[in-house]
Amino acid sequence: MDYFANSLLAALRLIGSLDADIYQIVFTSVLISLAASAIAAIIAVPAGVMMALHQFRGKQFTQHLLNTLMAMPTVVIGLLLYGLFSRLGPLGEWGLLYTPTAIIIAEAILIFPIMMNLTITAVNGADPRLVPTLRSLGARTIQMAFQVIRTTRLAILAAIIAGFGRAIGEVGAAMMLGGNIAGYTRTMTTAIALETSKGEFELGLALGLLLLIIAFVLNFLLSALNKASS
């Protein structure tokens, strides 16, 4: 018990001292996750709105595929991208392996089905009179999509925040594709795994506490958005 209490106090001192190495890791994690969330949202939100608004052959299969991708282990995504980005892979000449770009791509792929599914749920949960009214007024597909996004913007923003929360907690693919390089690709989760394995429990605990703080802020934002949209 004393060991844990002392480690906790040491971790809090590290956080309070504004240690440059710790906050460099936090900055890298947040930057990578924000980039991945932005890329995923640009594709997932319009795709989710369009899928919710239209009926087409294979829609049910597409929904099942999205559900399957949501449950896909992150190491599988990391393994597939590692094969593509490695020197012997088809994209090896691009030099993406062990770069922040590789982690961003992996996290964007990971959170894309989450954002798209939540967007579909948000659109399906909107006022059922909205789409028929827009169609009766002669709105085109793009006009309908913009109006639907505007109406469900808080729920869609919650979907994006949820995706960001999933991205910043990613460890498997980030370790495989980023290589955990200090000051370059070392994220909070990969650093926690490394420092704990080295016996640097205080540093790992400090990063874990910062990750919990970020998770708390994200959950607070989600709760606020849910109250605002209800």
Q: For residue 44, give the CATH number of its domain.
A: 1.10.3720.10
Q: What is the mean pLDDT of the chain?
A: 90
One-letter identity of residue 162: A
Average pLDDT for residues 13-40, to the nearest whole number?
A: 93
- Beta strand ranges found along 7-135 (DSSP E): none
CA angle 101, 106, 108 (to 5 degrees): 90
Full-model pTM: 0.91
Host domain of residue 148: 2-229
Q: Provide the pLDDT confidence category of residue 205 given band limits of 50, 70 and 90.
A: very high
pLDDT at 230: 62
Distance of alpha carbon 187 from alpha carbon 73, whole angstroms: 19
pLDDT at 8: 85
Domain count, the chain: 1
Structure tokens at 65: 């595929």
Across 165-183, b (16+ Cβ under 10 Å) vs e yields bbbbbbbbbbbbbbbbeee
Average pLDDT for residues 126-155, to the nearest whole number?
A: 84
Of 130 and 161, more confident: 161
Q: Provide the pLDDT confidence category of residue 6 given band limits of 50, 70 and 90.
A: confident
Distance of alpha carbon 216 from alpha carbon 222, whole angstroms: 10
Q: Provide the pLDDT confidence category of residue 139 given band limits of 50, 70 and 90.
A: confident
Of 49 and 143, more confident: 49
pLDDT at 34: 95
Average pLDDT for residues 35-42, to the nearest whole number?
A: 97
Question: 119, 41 in Cβ contact below 8 A?
Answer: no
111: pLDDT strictly greater than 90 = yes
173: pLDDT strictly greater than 70 = yes
**Backbone phi, psi, residue 135, to 5°:** -70, -40
219: pLDDT strictly greater than 90 = no
pLDDT at 142: 85
Structure tokens at 53: 């608004």
